[in-house]
Chains A and B, each alone.
Chain A
Amino acid sequence: MTVTSATGTNRIVRPRRVVRSGEGKWAWLLVGVVAAVLLIWEAAVSWLQLVPAAFLPPPTEIIAAFVRLLGEPEFWQAFVYSMQNLLIGLALAIVVGVVVGLAVGWSPVLRFTVAPFLWLLYSTPKVALAPLFILILGLGNESKIALVFLLAVFPIILNTMEGAVAVSPSLVSAGRVFGVNGVYLGWKVIFPATLPYSLSGIQRGAALGFTGEVLGEFLGGTGGLGHLLEFAAYQFMMAEAIALVIVMVIIANLTLWLISTLRRRLAPWYDDRKIVGAS
């Protein structure tokens, strides 16, 4: 909702409550749909036996496998292995991505020389490089961390870059007028102004990085959730395999939720809907 004042300047007034209660209604509908799908699934496999349970286990079996999984130390070992690689790779990607993104976004010279290559690399299917990484870096953590980093770093760089370009010139002027210069200007004005963009890139990077981690473990690994999943699938333990996929979905969504909460906390002035950038 916009309120137009006498001079025609718009002030955005957010109808928060209305949106919330509407979302509540949709949430119930979603729960209903999911329950219905699960019910039909269970009926089709267990009662009507339309599909062999060996290929598609019924939801009850998957839930049982899920609970069993949570009780196994082997699962938690794999969980820690995957999360460790993800966090290290992501941390590296955040540091490199934000620094490079700020530098390229801020310096016109770098923007014209480096940015085209960044876009090119961003649009390259980096997943294709995964076997190469494993060949070079081996089956251990290093190849996984490298894959996480490679997949996560580009959205962070490109979003930060776009954010740095979009910083209002008058904010920069204000910084200079009140005596903030050089690196100090970057720290006091450019970096905070770009932060919501960076966080949006980090969110996308985290999702892609997790894909990279699982993929690395899949292609050649000795541990982690991806390795566990591959093992379960080869042993034809479908319930376990699907339960592991559910674990991954939960991890991915928790990560996204965590970062978007962080973004609301760190940059409450920024309107989510205004962020457009590399996806």
Chain B
Amino acid sequence: MTTTIEPAEDEASVSSLISVRDLTVSYDVARTGKKLVAIEGVDLDVREGEFVTVLGPSGCGKTTFMNVIAGLVKPTSGQVLVAGEPVTGPGPDRAVVFQDYALLPWRTVFDNVKFGLEMQKALKGSGWRDRVQEAIELVGLSGFEHSYPRELSGGMQQRVGLARAIVAEPRILLMDEPLGAVDALTREVMRAEIEKLIAATGKTVLFITHSIEEAILLGDRIVVFKSHPGAIKEVIETGLARPRSERSIQSDPRFLELRDHLWDALQGEATAAAVSK
């Protein structure tokens, strides 16, 4: 697909850290010989330091969207620019936090976090030890350096995943439903910690979730996805002051308004998805 890039758009792609241009990803389904369109015609610009939450029903292609930005999936058409450069594969400027943690079970917490530095080839000097230790302290896991993932709770394992992602100091953090597999109480605590951590480090975040509350609580902007094919339905500025405490925000009229709006938007989507299956 060819697009004429207008000057205004060009400018936008320079000033934004991530810019997604008319992105389409489709897979060949070997069994049926048909093409499955995962996402179609997605455009999005993310400014440096922005916290963007991506909200949508399961199967809407939001994970595929994130994988393209991570460089794990090649776009079928369109492109993704990070800091003005087209993405051709994974790079040290982007790190991913996975839903199922994706920790290496044969490595200790320390060595798992160290894995985040592999690409940097920064393991030659001695400075990397301090960086790993710092990241472990930042996520509150001091004292567990020599534990194995299987000895930790889900919440703690995801802290390791978070430390591994931030240790190499990427500009962009891509989080794929990081709290999806964590129990409700831990999720609340970790949500607040992630917000604090991001505020302190000033990273640009793309946070995928299917929880409406999570999307509002964390996001500067919410990108709502629709399914079949996956595409952006709407983009909403939350306009809520930070820091946002979970309790005080529950009664904020803006929060309630957003929640009702998103509920309506997603309910239609969820029903459509259920019917088409």
By beta carbon, the residue of chain A nearest B174 is A177
Does B118 lie within 8 Å of A180, measured CB to CB? yes
By beta carbon, the residue of chain B nearest A170 is B102
Does B105 lie within 8 Å of A269, measured CB to CB? yes
List B residues 63-112 near A (Cβ within 8 Å).
67, 70-72, 89-90, 92, 94-96, 98-100, 102-106
By beta carbon, the residue of chain A nearest B115 is A178
- When chains A and B are docked, how far (Å) is the Cα of A193 from the Cα of B181? 22
- When chains A and B are docked, how far (Å) is the Cα of A5 from the Cα of B184? 9
Residues of A within 8 A of B94 (CB): 177
Does B98 lie within 8 Å of A173, measured CB to CB? yes
Does B150 lie within 8 Å of A269, measured CB to CB? yes
Q: How many A-B residue pairs have C-beta atoms within 8 angstroms? Tell me.
A: 76
Kindly supply a per-residue 1/0 record for chain B positions 134-145, scoring 1 wherever the CB is within 8 Å of any chain A CB and 0 otherwise. 000000000000
- When chains A and B are docked, how far (Å) is the Cα of A95 from the Cα of B149? 29
Partner of B100, one of A5, A11, A168, A269: A168
By beta carbon, the residue of chain A nearest B112 is A174
Residues of A within 8 A of B98 (CB): 170, 173-174
Does B118 lie within 8 Å of A179, measured CB to CB? yes
- When chains A and B are docked, how far (Å) is the Cα of A191 from the Cα of B92? 24
Residues of B within 8 A of A170 (CB): 98-100, 102
By beta carbon, the residue of chain A nearest B164 is A178
Q: A168-B102, A170-B98, A170-B100 are in contact. Are A179 and B183 (CB under 8 A)?
A: no
- When chains A and B are docked, how far (Å) is the Cα of A269 from the Cα of B71? 30
Kindly supply a per-residue 1/0 record for chain A positions 125-150, scoring 1 wherever the CB is within 8 Å of any chain B CB and 0 otherwise. 00000000000000000000000000
Kindly supply a per-residue 1/0 record for chain B positions 227-240, scoring 1 wherever the CB is within 8 Å of any chain A CB and 0 otherwise. 00000000000000
Partner of B102, one of A6, A171, A268: A171
By beta carbon, the residue of chain A nearest B117 is A178
List A residues 171-189 near B (Cβ within 8 Å).
171, 173-174, 176-180, 188-189
Is B49 in the interface zone, CB < 8 Å from A? no
- When chains A and B are docked, how far (Å) is the Cα of A54 from the Cα of B116? 71
Residues of B within 8 A of A123 (CB): none
Q: Chain A's nearest CB lies how many Å from the CB of B202?
A: 21
Is A220 in the interface zone, CB < 8 Å from B? no
Q: A178-B116, A269-B105 are in contact. Are A9 and B72 (CB under 8 A)?
A: no
Is B148 in the interface zone, CB < 8 Å from A? yes
Partner of B95, one of A6, A178, A267, A269: A178
Q: Chain B's nearest CB lies how many Å from the CB of A194?
A: 11
Q: A168-B102, A189-B104, A267-B106 are in contact. Are A174 and B96 (CB under 8 A)?
A: yes
- When chains A and B are docked, how far (Å) is the Cα of A190 from the Cα of B275? 39
Q: Chain A's nearest CB lies how many Å from the CB of B153?
A: 8
- When chains A and B are docked, how far (Å) is the Cα of A7 from the Cα of B154? 11
Q: A176-B72, A177-B95 are in contact. Are A6 and B185 (CB under 8 A)?
A: yes
Residues of A within 8 A of B104 (CB): 171, 174, 189, 192-193
List A residues 6-49 near B (Cβ within 8 Å).
6-7, 9, 11
Does A178 lie within 8 Å of B118, measured CB to CB? yes
- When chains A and B are docked, how far (Å) is the Cα of A69 from the Cα of B185? 67
Does A7 lie within 8 Å of B102, measured CB to CB? no
Residues of B within 8 A of A9 (CB): 154, 181, 183
Is B182 in the interface zone, CB < 8 Å from A? yes
Is B119 in the interface zone, CB < 8 Å from A? yes
Partner of A173, one of B96, B116, B148, B154: B96
Does B106 lie within 8 Å of A269, measured CB to CB? yes
List A residues 185-220 near B (Cβ within 8 Å).
188-189, 192-193, 195
Does A173 lie within 8 Å of B102, measured CB to CB? yes
Residues of B within 8 A of A268 (CB): 148
Does B184 lie within 8 Å of A6, measured CB to CB? yes
Q: Chain B's nearest CB lies how many Å from the CB of A244?
A: 41
Does B148 lie within 8 Å of A269, measured CB to CB? yes
Does B100 lie within 8 Å of A177, measured CB to CB? no
Q: Chain A's nearest CB lies how many Å from the CB of B239?
A: 30
Q: A5-B183, A168-B102, A170-B102 are in contact. Are A177 and B70 (CB under 8 A)?
A: yes
- When chains A and B are docked, how far (Å) is the Cα of A5 from the Cα of B116? 30
Q: Chain A's nearest CB lies how many Å from the CB of B119?
A: 2
Q: A170-B102, A180-B118 are in contact. Are A7 and B183 (CB under 8 A)?
A: yes
Interface residues of A (CB under 8 A from B): 5-7, 9, 11, 168, 170-171, 173-174, 176-180, 188-189, 192-193, 195, 267-270
Which are the 3 A-B pairs with shortest beta-carbon distances? A179-B119, A269-B105, A174-B102
Q: List 24 A-B contacts (CB under 8 A).
A: A5-B183, A6-B183, A7-B181, A7-B182, A7-B184, A9-B183, A11-B153, A11-B154, A170-B98, A170-B102, A171-B102, A171-B104, A173-B72, A174-B96, A174-B115, A176-B72, A177-B94, A179-B90, A192-B104, A267-B106, A269-B106, A269-B148, A269-B150, A270-B105
Assuming A9-B181, A193-B104, A267-B106, what are 17 further A-B pairs, CB within 8 angstroms?
A: A6-B183, A7-B183, A9-B154, A11-B154, A168-B100, A168-B102, A170-B98, A173-B70, A173-B72, A173-B96, A177-B70, A177-B96, A178-B115, A179-B92, A180-B119, A188-B118, A192-B106
